[in-house]
Structure 1
Amino acid sequence: MKKLGMGLVGPGFIAAHHLDAVRRLGNVDIVGIAGSSLESASKRARELGVGHAYASYRDLLADPAIHVVHNTTPNHLHREVSLAALRAGKHVISDKPLASSAEESRELFEAARDAGLANVVTFNYRGHALIQQARSMIAKGKLGAPVFVHGRYLQDWLTDESTYTWRLDPKLGGASSALGDIGSHWCDLAEHVTGSRITAVLADLHTVVPVRQAPASSAKAFAKQDRSVQQRAVKITSEDLASVLLRFENGARGCLVVGQVLPGHKNDLRLEVNGRTASVAWQQEQPNQLWLGHHAQANTVLERDPARLDPAARGYAHLPAGHPEAWSDAFRNLIADAYTWIRRGGTPETRPAALPTFADGYRNSLVIDAMLRSHAAGGVWQNVDEPIASKRKNKGKRG
């Protein structure tokens, strides 16, 4: 099997996990990385054990040894780098969100579609075996008709007012903070597991910490701030707490709570789907258990056991029962699906069913955009815009 060559642009926090997942595949060459300068890229290349550093992402794209580009840059650079990679004939795996706005996401979706290249956005929670189990159970009608979809994504890393990150700067992270950063994961998961789209939202957004102390230089995500360094007061305009009511196309109702200033919650992602005959719930911090709720019989917990999973989920569990698999394993599963798709030619027909694409990233951007519009309008229901591809298809044009 011919080895594919990959290059990574933006060697920050998440980059190490992309590289780890690729290394675990065993059949991909990590050619090199590019950062904001040759100096910074060289430093990170040494730290991450990568053999080559490029002076710019353009130099990386010009290297014929690279077939796949992982875009892990800050949000405001997603469009520029991914678009350039597609135009250079490279397959693209982009960190989420796909871009800083729905308009930019649409542009990337259309560019990827027209280029005929594999395009992936890292909604990595899809890679959990029990998420695929829940999806299969719902698709087979084992819960009956879904009536309520609810959950949360709660964190506390922004609780301290002295914590600051580029994600809070609208010019770098986009108009939304908590919803765009982690709420996007939950929304993608809810739609993927239920097989039904969110069609309307009613959102209440709030900024708990309206002023933060930021260092004079740029701040990395999740980095502890040095209080001895000179700081500046920064007014925060994006939300760090959100409550959202949801309507799904299958008639189900839902609600979501998102926050990043809630003490004690580290990475508390939870999704529950209640059907007419049964319920299912999954929590990211306990990823090897799937709760099954019943009305006239005892509730049960399904442990992650390859022998007991649906065939559609079994391939995402690699260890025997009793051997926990978690976040990095799910991330590896998503990257494995991505490279499987690339080797198959990157056509729509050959895409693994669980793999999120730029179409999903574009779709997700429209959902978050509707939430922002709902709050801006004073907390009223807003319909989620229909993706442009569907509109064109309905008009008899290329979709």
Structure 2
Amino acid sequence: MIGLGFIGPQHVDAIRRVPQAEVVALCDHKAATVELVCKQLAVPKSYTNWQDLIDDTEIDVIHNCTQHALHDEINRAAILRGKHVYSEKPLSISAAAARDITLLASKCGIAAGVNHQYRMNAAVQEMRARLQKGMAGRPLMVTGCYLQESASQATDWSKKMLNTGIARTINDIGIHWVDTACFVLGQPVKEIMADLHTHFPIRTDAQGDTHEMNTEDTAFIMLRFADGTPGQFVVSKAANGHKNDLRLNLWCDGYGMEWAQEEPDRLVIGRKGIGYETLYMNSRTCQKEVIPYVTTPMGHVMGWSDALRNSVQAYYSSIIDGSFGSKEVPYCTFEDGFHGMAFVEACIRSSRERCWVEVEQL
């Protein structure tokens, strides 16, 4: 495990739910941090240099939980050392770099996963299963949003706003929505039109220092999927009152399906002439293939950490049974991660040129 910010310890917990996996080492550039976390989580080895961890012959899998700008270098080094890699998103700093690392992982026979865990919620799996079986009918349109409030004021400044690549909000949370939508539809995004906004070109930190901003706070995005299904969503870090509000709505000619990440254990079904019904995820009423994702009884809410555990479990299962090279794995792969980066670059280009732009395909 490399990187011990918010997400790193969450990965440790998820890995420990896999009987065949053992967390043997953690790495962070802050010696005090890695020593403390190793003690708290009872992990035997600690490193402050990620190259040393990758060189450890006892390690088979690397979880890359570092900042965006470090993903490419670390992932490449791990692959060349024969390690399987499970990387945080976004996969790379560019579509070109994502393409290169995806092809390298395939060439080297590496299990290459990206942590887009929202697709691994039981309700999202249920949406996909119902659509694939034709239960909801033909998809007519997709809508949604991903809204947070962390950058809603001019005094909202954090070092996390640095080194985010060519985009900030889309790179951080927008690609989560896109991955979830593409997974449900079973289709990549073909073309988009985006309108990006930086609400505060100058931000002020707690010490009164100012920081020039050249990345977006909010994006309004129209899109068409490869099968022609149209869609639109808004992604923003300037939506006061919204904590982690990802919503995906799929309208079909049979019925509609709506999912909200902050109410993750339920799926809302909308029927013409009847109204709405709420389907709580449970093993008695969900589709057969969704049962492995239902881990608690109704009312015992399965949430964010459960989806992460589902993703990590699926990733390690594919290593154990050798299926990681198959296109049928449910978790997000490096190929999916490439599509995410190509989507981000298309959004930037569309907003600058004020037109529809095709999304690069692998």
Do both proteins adopt the same fold according to a TM-score greater than 0.5, normalized to the shorter chain? yes
Task: Tell me if 1:366 matches 2:339.
Answer: no
**SS across alignment from 1:109:** helix
**Equivalent residue, structure 2, for 1:108:** 101
Does the alignment pair 1:184 with 2:161? no
Q: Which of 345, 357, 360 is the matching residue for 1:382?
A: 357
Deviations 1:11-38 (A, max 9, x none): 1111011111112224321111112254
Change (3 A) 1:159 1:62: same
Q: Which amino acid in the other structure matches residue 181 of structure 2?
A: A
Deviation at 1:51, TM superposition (A): 2.4
What does residue 317 of structure 1 align with?
A: 294
Aligned counterpart, 2:157? 164
Task: Report the 3-state secondary structure (helix = DSSP H, G, I; strand = E; otherwise coil) of the residue aligned with 1:173.
Answer: coil
Q: What amino acid maps onto 1:252 in structure 2?
A: T
CA distance in 2, matches of 1:159, 1:382: 29
CA distance in 1, matches of 2:157, 2:44: 32
1:203 is aligned to 2:194: yes
The amino acid across from 1:331 in the alignment is: L
Which of 66, 88, 93 does residue 86 from structure 2 map onto?
Answer: 93
- Alpha-carbon distance in structure 1 between the residues aligned to 2:161 and 2:201: 11
Kindly indicate whether the alpha-carbon contact (under 8 Å) linking 1:9 and 1:70 is maintained by their aligned counterparts in 2. yes
Counterparts in 2 of 1:165 and 1:104: CA distance versus 1, 3 Å: farther
Task: Give the corresponding residue for 2:266.
Answer: 289
Q: For residues 1-16 of structure 1, what are the structure 2 equivalents within 5 Å? A: 8-16=1-9
% identical equivalent positions: 33
SS in structure 2 of the partner of residue 263 of structure 1: coil
* 2:9 aligned counterpart, secondary structure: helix
Native 8 Å contact 1:76 1:100 kept in 2: yes
Give the aligned CA root-mean-square deviation in angstroms. Answer: 1.5
Match of 1:82 in 2: 75
How far residue 167 of structure 1 moved from its aligned partner, in angstroms, is 3.7
Alignment match, 2:333: 357
Q: Does 1:129 align with 2:106?
A: no
CA–CA distance in structure 2, aligned partners of residues 117 and 32 of structure 1: 20
Quick one: structure 1 residues 296 and 353, their matched pair in 2 at CA, closer, same or farther if it must change by over 3 Å? farther
- Which runs of 5 or more structure 1 residues have no equivalent in the other structure? 1-7, 215-226, 388-399
Q: Tell me the CA shift for residue 296 of structure 1.
A: 3.5
One-letter code of the match for 1:311? Answer: K
Residue identity in the other structure for 1:190: A
* Counterpart-to-counterpart distance in 2, 1:325 and 1:115: 36
Is the 8 Å Cα contact of residues 112 and 118 (structure 1) preserved in structure 2? yes
Cα pair distance change 1:252/1:264, threshold 3 Å: same
**Match in the other structure for 1:304:** 281
1:357-387 alpha-carbon deviations (Å, 9 max, x no partner): 000000111111111100011x210011121
- Structure 1 position 301, deviation (Å): 1.4
Paired position in structure 1 for 2:213: 236
Query: Which residues in structure 2 correspond to 1:208-357 (within 5 Å)?
Result: 208-214=199-205, 227=206, 230-345=207-322, 347-349=324-326, 353-357=329-333
Q: Deviation per CA, 1:215-249: give whole Å up to 9, x if none.
A: xxxxxxxxxxxx3xx45211011001110111112
Q: After superposition, what is the alpha-carbon deviation per residue over 1:296-321, rounded to whole angstroms, capped at 9, x for unaligned? A: 33432111111111111111011122
- Inter-partner Cα distance in structure 2 for 1:55 and 1:286: 38
Could you list the runs of 4 or more consecutive aligned residues of structure 1 that deviate by over 4 angstroms after TM superposition? 37-40
Deviation at 1:50, TM superposition (A): 2.5
Distance in structure 1 (CA, Å) of the matches to 2:346 and 2:267: 31
Distance, in Å, in 1 between the alignment partners of 2:156 and 2:166 is 19
The alpha carbon displacement at 1:166 in A equals 3.6
- TM normalised by structure 1 equals 0.87
Listed as ranges, the matches of 1:10-89 within 5 Å are 10-89=3-82
1:74-122 CA-to-partner distances (Å, cap 9, x unmatched) read 0000000000000010000000000111111111101111111100000
Offset of residue 344 of structure 1: 1.6
- The number of residues matched between the two structures is 362
Q: Distance in 2 between the 1:263 and 1:70 partners?
A: 33
- Relative to structure 1, the CA distance from residue 346 to residue 11 in structure 2 (aligned partners, 3 Å threshold; closer, same or farther) is farther
| Partner Cα separation in structure 2 for residue 289 and residue 38 of structure 1 | 42
**Per-residue deviation, 1:346:** 5.0
Matches within 5 A, 1:137-176: 137-169=130-162, 172-176=163-167
Corresponding letter in the other structure for 1:361: G
Q: In the TM superposition, what whole-angstrom CA distance separates every residue of 1:171-210 from its partner, at most 9, and x where no partner exists?
A: x211101111000000001110011221111100001122
Residue type of the partner of 1:74?
Q
In structure 2, how many angstroms separate the alpha carbons of the residues matched to 1:253 and 1:352?
Answer: 25
Q: TM-score, normalised by structure 2?
A: 0.96
Deviation at 1:276, TM superposition (A): 1.5
CA distance, structure 2, for counterparts of residue 166 and residue 107 of structure 1: 28
